[in-house]
Amino acid sequence: MWLKNCWQVAGFATEIGDRPLARRLVGESVLMYRLKNGTAVALQDRCPHRLVPLSSGQRVGDEIQCSYHGLKFAGDGRCTHIPGQSVIPPNSRALNYPLFERQGLAWIWLGKPDLADESLVPDFPWMDPPSWNQSYGYHHFDCDYRLMSDNLLDLSHENYVHRHTIGNQEEESIAEYPVSVTVEEGTIVRVHREMPKIEPPPFFQMFLNTTQPIDRWQTAVHMPPGIHMTEAGAYVTGTPRANASINRIMHLLTPESANSTHYFWCVARNYRLGEASLGESIIKSINTTFNEDKTLLELLQRALTAAPEKNMPRFAIRLDEGPLRARRLLDKWVKSESSGGSFVAPVRSLVSDEAATPAMQTLRDGTHSG
């Protein structure tokens, strides 16, 4: 169900400061803080002596002092001080996790430490200003992250779950517009749909500043285990597509436990870049929209938990193709990882026409193909 040999989002870089931040990630208790030189570090939130959470201790300089017997640990996990003795046993080390910051995100590696390779940290250039503008937020969902992946790969639910926000109330169902589903290089699941000449839903009216008919596309892009991007592009019908307003909505899912998930999100937009008030409106709309998903998915999770023996879907419909292909890919990777060895979840660029970074280029050339 979970993958560990991959980089996963531990938080926004701005969340990690002087004060230790405790967070459960992929079933592990983690403690993160920033050293005086600015480097963010992550330790297992468990004292190696008697297993007390280190987050109940205090920070002393660049070290964490356990709240029970006062042992001190450096950011790399080394035990530096044991009250009453000068000998530091070699097995007194606290577990340290590799942490890497990029584009405002802190990525953690919870798998085998010797397989952690920073060139595999996903790269999202549109999360860098200034050619795109970013709005950020966080939700906590009390459900299995895979239910969230299913949801993000079938956007036809907009008509029903989001009828007051990003869906249309009167519009013929989004499901009527055909989708193409592709799995690229055995790594990226892409579900694409074009919707020409439609009435703009409320969210689109807001960001396009129009009530005229629009041509709209939506592409759900997914790289297991937890990276999703929804590209929503739109332009007034009859105007050039090259001038479309594009939102790249990043949904970065990190399991907390079997039935709860951290949902870090960012809306990157390529239009009306200087308008701070637009960013605030986007955050407000997205909060409402994702709360609608939260209500539905938590309801679903409660129903599945209440009757676990009956939780297999009875049948599939055409719209399930994207979610099903993603589940198959994830299951395959989980199997490869759990069989031991050195399987590492592969990483590719989410946007095929984006200039490849040197790291991505290396990956395309066949390294780490998993």
**Nearest to ligand FES of 68, 271 (CB atom):** 68
Q: Is the dihedral of CA 352, 184, 179, 328 positive or negative?
A: negative
Is the Cβ of residue 291 or residue 352 nearer to Fe ion in the bound state?
Answer: 291
By a kind-dependent CB cut-off of 5 to 8 A, residue 47 interacts, out of ligand FES, Fe ion, none, with ligand FES
- In angstroms, rounded to a whole number, what is the distance separating the alpha carbons of residues 204 and 276? 17
Task: Pick one of ligand FES, Fe ion, none as the site partner of residue 49 (Cβ within 5 to 8 A by kind).
Answer: ligand FES
* Minimum separation from the CB atom of position 355 to ligand FES (A): 49
The count of chain residues that interact with Fe ion, using the rule CB under 5 A, is 1
For residue 24, which of 46, 48, 1, 5 has the smallest C-alpha distance?
46
68 contact choice in Fe ion, ligand FES, none (CB below 5 to 8 Å, kind-dependent): ligand FES
Nearest alpha carbon to residue 313 among 156, 147, 173:
147
- 3-state secondary structure at position 225: coil
Residue 71's binding partner among Fe ion, ligand FES, none (Cβ under 5 to 8 angstroms by kind) is ligand FES
Cα 32 → chain centroid:
18
Nearer to ligand FES, 29 or 119 (CB): 29
Nearer to ligand FES, 46 or 251 (CB): 46
Judged by DSSP in three states, 52 sits in coil
Name the minimum Å distance from CB 151 to Fe ion.
6
**C-alpha torsion angle, residues 172, 174, 179, 181 (rounded to 10):** -160
CB nearer to Fe ion: pick between 63 and 293: 293
- Cβ atoms of 262 and 256 closer than 8 Å: yes
Kindly state whether residue 293 participates in binding Fe ion, applying the rule CB under 5 A.
yes
Task: Write down the least CB distance from residue 342 to ligand FES, Å.
Answer: 33
**Stretch near Fe ion under the rule CB under 5 A, chosen from 180-188, 221-229, 231-239, 293-301:** 293-301
Query: Smaller CB distance to Fe ion: residue 109 or 290?
Result: 290
Minimum separation from the CB atom of position 40 to Fe ion (A): 31
Residue 47 neighbours by CB distance under 10 Å:
24
- Please state the closest distance from residue 83 (CB atom) to ligand FES, in A: 8
Q: Are 38 and 290 in contact (CB under 8 A)?
A: no
Contact between 154 and Fe ion by CB under 5 A: the answer reads: no
Give the nearer residue to ligand FES in terms of CB position, either 81 or 327.
81
How is residue 41 written in tokens? 């570090």
> Minimum distance from CB of 52 to ligand FES (Å)?
4
Distance CA 63, CA 34 (A): 10
Instruction: Look at residue 293 and give the partner it binds from ligand FES, Fe ion, none, a contact being a CB closer than 5 to 8 Å depending on partner kind.
Output: Fe ion
Report, in Å, the least distance between residue 66 CB and ligand FES.
3
Positions touching ligand FES (CB under 6 A) are 47, 49-50, 52, 66, 68-69, 71
337 binds Fe ion (CB under 5 A): no
Q: Cβ distance 10 to 23 under 8 Å?
A: yes
Task: Find where tokens 């006062």 sit.
Answer: 70
- Least distance to Fe ion from the beta carbon of 254, Å? 18
Q: How far apart are CA 32 and CA 15, in angstroms?
A: 9
Residue 316: CB partners within 8 Å, gap ≥ 6? 324
Do residues 266 and 133 make contact, with C-beta atoms less than 8 angstroms apart? no
> DSSP 3-state assignment of 7?
strand
For residue 134, list its beta bridge partners: 268
Nearer to Fe ion, 167 or 346 (CB): 167
Query: Which positions lie near Fe ion, rule CB under 5 A?
Result: 293
